[in-house]
Amino acid sequence: MTKKSEAKSSTMQVKQTDDGLHLANSILWFDAQENGDLSFLSAASTTFNPKAPQVIATSETIKILEAFRKKPTALKCQYNRPFSIGRLRIELLPSGSTLGGASLYVETDQGSLLYAPQLQPHRIATVRAMQLRKAQVLVLGAAHRDPNQAMPNRKREKERLLETVQSLVKAGVYPVILCETIGTAQELTKLLSDHEVPVAVHDSIFKVNNIYEDYGSRLGAYTRFARKYAKQKVTLFPLPAKPGSPLPPILPDVPILCVESTAEPRTALNSSRQHTQRFYLSLSCDGPDMREIIATVSPKELYILGPYAKRYVSELVGSCAIINPLFVNDQPTLF
């Protein structure tokens, strides 16, 4: 049985559970994978539960899930095409993070709400730019530990990564790059191929790359990874699913470059490997970005979800009349 606690609101009430959020007195859930009648799915995830209720999602998100043999019962929606479900008026907005990634804008007679668990305000060439909408209630996800710390500049990190790769390739060394399967891998495929660096990608990344290209993202020349080409091409591999996981045994014996999406490293690297380095390309807004997003949306009530929610709430006091944390017990989010 799902435990619930209600975040009291003068407008729209959001209930937190151990399986996503629920809009009180409605059939609508947010990123729920087991409960409810209808759940908005904000982005594709390789950990998606195939037993999820019927979902609202973009066709891109569903296509990525289907590539991993996860086929939910889905109401496929386009960005910026408002529609109604009973008394709910709904619109999907691009999150700016991954292909098909979306925020959900909801209006009822009680007010308006913007559910935006993963926003990336800095432009990524392979996806639609982030869009916002003014709302009385705003729900944001906090992916980074320190709300006062800005993530490294994405443009400079990509330049630093490219320079490192080109230097190694010039010396006849083709590194492995560990990165997020959905989002970062496609951005890096394009970056490297645009600069004529030979690229191979792990099978899971290859599947997602194909879908990005089906929807108009030109990623350039790349091949599926094969061991016989391991020392002839720069190879993109997925980051381990869980923090602290060991490196996959299939990795060729070459230098490893890690491209992390948060400042919390996902894997422990073997220091015996030469040129081992970390780079940071965030898929989510950091603390300074979040303050700008709040100012743009101008909510009366703000809710922060994720394992760092309590700290963000304390640091954001004054940015909104009502601020509360969600998932305060380090309950896992979809991301």
- DSSP of 271-311: TTSTT-EEEE--SS--HHHHHHHHHHH--SEEEEESTTHHH
Provide mean pLDDT across the span 71-98: 94
pLDDT above 90 for 221: yes
The structure's pTM equals 0.90
**Model confidence at 46, in pLDDT bands (50, 70, 90)?**
low
- Identify whether residues 128 and 273 lie together within a single domain: no
- Identify whether residues 13 and 133 lie together within a single domain: yes
Tell whether 25 is covered by a domain.
yes
Domain assignment of residue 298, given as a range: 4-148+284-326
- Identify whether residues 236 and 139 lie together within a single domain: no
Quick one: pLDDT at residue 233? Answer: 93
Of 263, 280, 297, the domain-final residue: 280
Report the CATH number that the domain containing residue 24 is assigned in CATH: 3.60.15.10
Quick one: pLDDT at residue 296? Answer: 97
**Model confidence at 330, in pLDDT bands (50, 70, 90)?**
very low
Quick one: pLDDT at residue 298? Answer: 96
- Identify whether residues 142 and 290 lie together within a single domain: yes
Please report which helix (H) or strand (E) contains residue 179, including its range. strand 176-179
Strongest mean pLDDT among 31-40, 193-202, 241-250: 193-202
Provide mean pLDDT across the span 35-50: 81
pLDDT above 80 for 281: yes
Provide mean pLDDT across the span 181-210: 97
DSSP of 127-174 = SPPP-----SEEEEE--SS-TTPPPPPHHHHHHHHHHHHHHHHHTT--
- Identify whether residues 189 and 128 lie together within a single domain: no
- Identify whether residues 169 and 100 lie together within a single domain: no
Q: Count structural domains, the chain.
A: 2
Alpha carbon 106 to chain centroid distance? 21
Tell whether 193 is covered by a domain.
yes
pLDDT tens string 98-155: 999 999 999 998 899 999 999 999 999 999 999 999 999 999 999 999 999 999 999 9
